Amino acid sequence: MRNTHCKKGLTLLEMLTVLAIIALLVGIIVPVVVQARKYSQRTVCASNLRQIHLAWSLYLSDHRVAPTEPSGWPPHLGALESYIKDRRVLICPLDPNPTIGIFPDVVPTSYYLNRRGFGKQMLEVDPNPGIVACMLHGQCKFYFHTNPTERPRPICKGTLLRVRLDGSLKVARYFVACFYDGEGRLIGAGNIYWYLLTDAPEPQGDFSYGWVECRPEDDPFNR
């Protein structure tokens, strides 16, 4: 007796349809996963910033003065070490060098702490300045000054996380600053740390006063 049952494979059209559906699903799922990961990283970083703010507040309560630094820069997060139970709080999930951080300090850190000198100046122009901030949530480029064995230094722009004096979290915008001569020629470009901690204009007479947001053609991210 002849067997009339036979296996029928997928036609080319059916295969293309299946592949198109898979590609569509991937196109939908991947951006969602990427956004979820960014949200998770931002949540962890915000939690770190709040814990550093709490440590800063406790230090201020105990010593009646904000943490200071041995040589004027960078902000001395090492002074807060005894107020922080886990050193991982000092590292942002987006830090490409988590063992050393992006700021040279007594302890590795990804975060910029308000200096005592900055604090006095800022309170004159901003009643609620930032206490600690992270600039790694936007676009960042890392470079070395002269010695390739040094830790890379960042230039960043875009999204900035800042915990302010009252403990509130602010998502702000950070920019690359440029300095131009009297004829409008570019002298230098970089980040101004004042704007990590406040959106208020920097006082005249400060070292970095006169730096402005770069023209598009001078922005390092457009080169």
- pLDDT tens for 20-56 read 888 888 887 777 766 777 788 899 999 999 999 999 8
Residue 43 lies in a domain: yes
Number of domains in the chain: 1
Domain span holding position 105: 18-222
Gap between the Cα atoms of 95 and 152, Å rounded: 11
Q: What's the pLDDT score for residue 76?
A: 60
Residue 55 lies in a domain: yes
Cβ neighbours of residue 4 closer than 8 Å, sequence gap 6 or more: none
Residue 58 lies in a domain: yes
Residue 6 lies in a domain: no
Q: What's the pLDDT score for residue 107?
A: 74
Instruction: Give the residue from 98, 5, 121, 110 showing the smallest Cα distance to 49.
Output: 110
Residue 84 lies in a domain: yes
Q: What average pLDDT does the segment 79-94 reach?
A: 86
Matching residue, tokens 């600690």: 132
Residue 8 lies in a domain: no
Residue 138 lies in a domain: yes
Kindly report the pTM of this predicted structure. 0.77
Q: Does residue 194 register a pLDDT over 90?
A: no
Tell me the CB-side half-sphere exposure of residue 124, using CA atoms within 13 A: 8
Residue 54 lies in a domain: yes
Q: What's the pLDDT score for residue 105?
A: 59
Q: Does residue 189 register a pLDDT over 50?
A: yes
Q: What's the pLDDT score for residue 73?
A: 41
Cβ neighbours of residue 179 closer than 8 Å, sequence gap 6 or more: 186, 187, 188, 189, 210, 211, 212
- pLDDT tens for 100-141 read 777 765 677 888 888 655 667 788 889 999 999 999 999 998
- pLDDT tens for 150-183 read 666 788 999 999 999 999 999 999 999 898 888 8
Percent of residues, the chain, with pLDDT higher than 90 = 26
